[in-house]
Structure 1
Amino acid sequence: MKKTAFSATLVALFTANVQADTVGLYLGSQIWQSEASGIFGEENRLIDFNLKKEQQINYFVAVEHPFPLLPNVRISSTTLDTTGKATLTQAFSFGSETFPIDDDVNVSFNVSYIDYTLYYELFDNGLFSFDLGLTARDFSGAVTVTGPKIIDDDDDCPQTSQGNPCTSTPTSSSVTPTGKIKTDEIEPMLYVATNIILPLTNLSVFAQGDFSLINDHTLFDYHVGLSYDLVKSRVGHFNLTLGYRAVKMEFENLDNLYTDLEFKGAFVGVIAHF
């Protein structure tokens, strides 16, 4: 079924009637207050680390043109950084390290991705537009779990036969158990976007999303919101955006990483169109 949908999307893209009549450059950025929830770990043991709410900064650049059959191009970058901690109720293995029961462990979730999107503007009548395309989502980063520091005291002081006191200085060393899994994989996704201009106002409603097409992963990333025209001039157009974004990542063995996570929250952003 997914292969059929994928093929149909390709046919639609390469038979599209491109609507843009000028070359345009779009630059945008978001500040996103993302709240993380869910579980992750290795195959047989997933844990809720009580991940913290964090502020993320994301940005994109896009180029649209009027040339038939050639797709428009969009490149965006998203960072998902958060931390958390948990007290283990069972032994937990992660990244070749095993943490015993009752350990207080900390996690650093630092995963980012760059989206390389080719899309067509299938329809645009000045008030309503609809885009369809394909995205290659390139993941990178790492998830690190650390346990409590272990201190090894070396107080070995052999006695002489005459019972002379030990003259050596006791030494100690410490080690922090650390398990780490790096992410480095590309996921194909379906890209859709729409924009509806509200007549007699400087407002428009927009929605955009990427949705996984193949493999065993459940992955989607969408945002919806309002855009307000701040400035319209010959130099360019500048818009303020406000909305809600959600990212769902349910991975089955992404470089040995298993997740059922969701990042969601409000964002504010700016878009410049030249």
Structure 2
Amino acid sequence: MAIRHALAALGGCTLGLCSMGSAHAALGFNVSLGAGIWSQQPSGYVHYTTGGQSSSNVNLKSDLGLSSKSQGYAWVDIQHPIPVLPDVEVRYSRIDTSGSQVLSRTITYGGQTYTANQQVSSQLKLTQTDFIFYYQPINNIVQLRLGLDVKAMSLSADLKSGNQSSSASGSVAVPMLYAGLHADLPLTGLSAAVDGSYIGNGTNYFADYQAKIAYETPIGLGLQAGYRQMELKVASSNIDPNGDIKFKGAFAGIFYHF
């Protein structure tokens, strides 16, 4: 429902934005905004030790039955004419998936033991807002973006069966290196782009990257489609919760450039 409202609002304001486009261009500003749907496929495992009780590597799909789900995303990109200041893009996305599963094995998670043949229900929520500050050392038909992505995240994970329950939640802001490459096909309205954010040392890392193609009409309204993958790997036993979690899948949306 929320994403339908976002898309409707974007489409409804198009006529007004068209009249604003030339004014922003004259001032040297380049603004894009959009919204769409991301089809998220979860995989991997989590490990959560608490109360001195060791944890199993709990598989998101085979143990918890977490399913694929489509969620909304939105973004706004603001480029300006002041050379010393970075351009800014803000992205918002949400992961909210749940599952119900009869365990095929006994698992321990969050200080609780859940036995084989026991019915468990689970829910994982992750809300993230990316504040991307970037410069463009190359900016013509091909644009190179280099900068910093400050990813603000809020996470909650719940596992429950009868009177038993385990839960973890928290919020964090993670600074990540950011790089992107965008190429326009002149006179066609078509473009292609890849970008990604990364922080880590090889053993423990957080990566978020995507590739997309887009078509923009002469009035600035456009469509985009692509593929995004996000992976969090924490292999250190000194950090809890830890594990290797992936969310990946195709996305599609609309945007307006003025």
TM range (shorter): 0.7 to 0.9
Deviation digits for residues 172-211 of structure 1 (CA, Å, limit 9, x no counterpart): xxxx322110031221111112211123422111112111
TM-score (norm 2): 0.78
For the structure 1 residues 213 and 271, does the alpha-carbon distance in structure 2 shift closer, same or farther, using more than 3 Å as the test?
farther
CA distance in 2, matches of 1:144, 1:49: 12
CA distance in 1, matches of 2:121, 2:197: 31
Matched, 1:203 2:190: yes
- C-alpha RMSD of the superposition: 2.3
For the structure 1 residues 115 and 217, does the alpha-carbon distance in structure 2 shift closer, same or farther, using more than 3 Å as the test?
farther
Q: Which residue of 2 aligns with 1:30?
A: 36
CA contact (8 A) 1:196 1:204 kept: yes
Q: Which residue of 2 aligns with 1:93?
A: 109
For the structure 1 residues 40 and 97, does the alpha-carbon distance in structure 2 shift closer, same or farther, using more than 3 Å as the test?
same
CA contact (8 A) 1:181 1:256 kept: no
Q: Which residue of 1 aligns with 2:134?
A: 119
Q: Which residue of 2 aligns with 1:262?
A: 246
Higher helix share: 2
TM-score (norm 1): 0.74
CA contact (8 A) 1:193 1:208 kept: yes
Deviation at 1:252, TM superposition (A): 4.8
Deviation at 1:101, TM superposition (A): 4.3
Paired AA for residue 30 in structure 1: G
Deviation at 1:54, TM superposition (A): 0.2
Paired AA for residue 130 in structure 1: L
Q: 1:49 is matched with which residue: 53, 56, 60? A: 60
Paired AA for residue 24 in structure 1: N
- SS of the equivalent of 1:201 reads coil
Matched, 1:241 2:224: yes
CA distance in 1, matches of 2:180, 2:60: 34
More deviation in 63-72 or 248-257?
248-257
Identity %: 25
- SS of the equivalent of 1:184 reads strand
Deviation digits for residues 219-248 of structure 1 (CA, Å, limit 9, x no counterpart): 11111121101342xxxx222101111111
- SS of the equivalent of 2:95 reads strand
Q: Any gaps of 5 or more consecutive residues in structure 1? A: 1-20, 150-175
Deviation at 1:106, TM superposition (A): 1.6
Q: Any gaps of 5 or more consecutive residues in structure 2? A: 1-26, 50-54
The number of residues matched between the two structures is 221
CA distance in 2, matches of 1:128, 1:102: 56
- SS of the equivalent of 1:185 reads strand
Q: 1:251 is matched with which residue: 222, 228, 234? A: 234
Q: Which residue of 2 aligns with 1:224?
A: 211
CA contact (8 A) 1:46 1:258 kept: no
Q: Which residue of 2 aligns with 1:5?
A: none
Q: 1:142 is matched with which residue: 148, 153, 156? A: 156
CA distance in 2, matches of 1:30, 1:255: 34
Q: Which residue of 2 aligns with 1:129?
A: 143
Paired AA for residue 59 in structure 2: D
Deviation at 1:255, TM superposition (A): 7.7
